Amino acid sequence: MRKWLDRYYGRLRTIKANYVLLNLLNYRRLGHARRMFRQYGVVRSPLLPVSSGDMPKTPGETPWLDRPDARERLLADARVQALPEPLRQSVLDWPDKGYLILRGVFSPDEVDRVNRELQQLIDTGAVDFNFTGRKVMFAFRQSPAIKAMANDRRILDVLDLLLGRRMHVFQTINFQTGSEQAAHSDSIHMTTYPLGYLAAAWVALEPITADNGPLMYFPGSHKLPYLLNDGFDHGGGRFTIGEDAYAHYEAAVQRSIDEGRFTPHEFHARPGDVLIWHANLLHGGKKMATPNASRKSMAVHYFAEDVLCYHELTQRVAMIDDDH
Ligand SMILES: O=C(O)CCC(=O)C(=O)O
């Protein structure tokens, strides 16, 4: 029965008309897309499917640390020189590595509060795992502790500096076990115009070791060209999203990892440690050595102010609440 339902919902997710209907029902939450369409001259209703092919032909402004002179700019920047070590060095390394690690950001109390509130929300049925069975999406809308962690200034200040714009929470994903998700770039799921104005922070909410499916990432891979719908066989048409689009995307990512000989790193962490990654850094979840091991953690995805946010794979604009 479960398999049949999964297949049924999987099919529904490929029909573009369903997203148009969903958009219509959530019209109020498309204000951001309406404003950004106007700002960037995209002549299109935000109700309709949209993807990178519908964006302006000029690429728009590149984030300052994705430009060739990023390191010189960082070295000349008084804000960067004033940062304490080791943060200053990590920020200097960002243009080359595409990630940075902040150790011990959150206290055991802050971590406990998040774990407790999430467990309560799960126990009372106020939140549930999504179709993957592993992710609790958007729990920051119900949990003050999760909202506070996602909006913590210690993370946001670093993100604002790295992206050169004010960053805002788009979504939280809470995990109780490893995701075991294959390597991907967030920009296939959450895309911006101009490209690159997204970043993620991943918070360890218990000890993370080689055993419980740590986050893995490929330093330097953010410099690969963005792989979007026109770069792999997505199999979609005018009315449908290709049923195997994501599998084909994952295969294309794996090929570029193999060609680029990127080395996977694992984020082994203590509760409260944070890893921040670039919009295009390839990353995923390592297989859990102990099946179903507990791996409490949270990923937060952030968009920059004044950029258009949309979902390339499912070809729809992002719904954004004004009070996010
Ligand atoms: O936590 C993981 O295992 C992967 C998280 C991830 O890929 C994401 O949040 O984009």
Residue bearing the CA closest to ligand 1, atom 2 = 285
Asked if 166 and 151 count as a contact pair (C-beta separation under 8 A), the reply is no
- Is the pLDDT at 175 greater than 70, yes or no? yes
Atom 8 (ligand 1): residue with closest C-alpha? 299
Q: Which atom of ligand 1 is nearest to the CA of 285?
A: 3
* Structure confidence at residue 324 (pLDDT): 55
Domain CATH number, residue 273: 2.60.120.620
Going by pLDDT thresholds of 50, 70 and 90, the confidence category of residue 5 is low
Task: Work out the mean pLDDT of the chain and round it to a whole number.
Answer: 94
Residue 247 covered by a domain = yes
Give the per-residue pLDDT at 238.
82
* Inter-residue long-range contacts of 136-145, CB under 8 Å, 24+ positions, other chains counted: 136/173, 136/174, 136/175, 136/176, 137/171, 137/172, 137/173, 138/171, 138/172, 139/172, 139/174, 140/169, 140/171, 140/172, 140/300, 143/114, 143/117, 143/118, 144/117, 145/110, 145/113, 145/114, 145/116, 145/117
| Ligand 1 pocket check for 212: Cβ under 6 Å | no
Chain centroid to Cα 72, Å, comes to: 28
With a 6 Å cutoff on the Cβ, whether 178 touches ligand 1 is yes
Q: Which domain holds residue 304?
A: 2-317
pLDDT digits (tens, 9 = 90+) for 74-121: 999 999 999 999 999 999 999 999 999 999 999 999 999 999 999 999
Please choose from 172, 215, 249 the residue to mutate so as to test ligand 1's pocket, defined by most ligand atoms within 8 A of CB. Answer: 215
Over range 193-205, report the average pLDDT: 98
How many structural domains comprise the chain?
1
**Residue 22 lies inside a defined structural domain of this protein:** yes
Q: In Å, what is the CA distance from 210 to each residue of 117, 170, 213, 282?
A: 27, 29, 6, 19
Each residue's pLDDT tens digit, 258-282: 998 899 999 999 999 999 999 999 9
Q: Determine, yes or no, domain membership for 38.
A: yes
Determine, yes or no, domain membership for 324.
no
C-beta of 283 in contact with ligand 1 (< 6 A): yes
Q: Is the predicted pLDDT of residue 12 greater than 80, yes or no?
A: no
Q: How far is the CA of 301 from the centre of ligand 1 (A)?
A: 10
- In this model, does residue 228 exceed pLDDT 60? yes
In a domain, 322, yes or no: no
Residue 58, domain member (yes or no):
yes
pLDDT at 1: 64
Residue 323 maps to a domain: no
Closest residue by CA, ligand 1 atom 7: 284
Whether residue 63 is preceded by a cis peptide bond, meaning omega within 30 degrees of 0, is no
Domain assignment present for residue 128? The answer is yes
